Amino acid sequence: MKKYLHVFYSQRGYTIVELLAVMTIVVVVSGVIAGILYSTLRGGSKSKITSDVAQNGNYAISVITQTIIQSQDVTSVGGTPITSCITSPTGTSIDLTQSDGSTITFSCSNNTVASTSAQITSSLIDTSNLEVDATTCTFKCRQDNNNPVAIPVVDVAFSVKQKGSVTNPDAKSTANFSTSTSMR
């Protein structure tokens, strides 16, 4: 029995210092891996929302630009009827007369840029996770003061941002969009 106990106690195991050193290395490596994983997931989310903001804003600008080019006249800006753009009226909506006599209205309301034609109203921005900053959305019609028959130019500007409050500023995305378009 003595011989058995002697053999049992003479075998070396790991010391507490060795175990602590291994555990420390495992914790450090786990922390590094968790950090890499977290930043990868966060970066993917930021990329998606930035892409959504850019796509929606570019789509809205292209629809508005094409409509302005095909329009014959600006009939009101900001809800106020106008006869010419010499005074450079500015507002949050614009009414455009098309060649067939119909009117198309673009307006900034309910945190979106919307198009209204006859009885149809459609948002140009996907409002499920994006919104238009109402304080930055403007339509302006301008025309050369010295030439009342000059072609009117319509300036459009707005900002698209992620909807709701974002707790992480790195994940927040906002983009400004603007264009100046001459009517035919």
* Residue 172 tokens, joined: 């927040």
CA–CA gap between residue 122 and residue 66 (Å, rounded): 16
pLDDT tens per residue, range 20-65: 999 999 999 999 999 888 877 776 777 888 888 999 999 999 999 9
For 64, counting Cβ atoms within 10 Å of its Cβ (0-12 exposed, 13-18 middle, 19+ buried), the class is buried
pLDDT, one tens digit per residue, over 121-170 is 788 888 888 889 888 899 999 988 777 678 889 999 999 988 876 666 66
Whether 172 shows a pLDDT value over 80: the answer reads: no
- In this prediction, residue 84 has a pLDDT band, given cuts at 50, 70 and 90, of confident
The predicted model gives 75-79 an average pLDDT of: 91
* pLDDT value of residue 11: 61
More confident of the two residues 168 and 116: 116
Those residues with Cβ within 8 angstroms of residue 13's Cβ, 6 or more apart along the chain or in another chain: none
Residue whose tokens read 């009885």: 119
pLDDT for the residue 61: 94
Number of Cβ within 10 Å of residue 112's Cβ equals 22
Token pair listed for 120: 């149809």
- What does the alpha-carbon distance between residue 71 and residue 58 come to, in Å, rounded to a whole number? 20
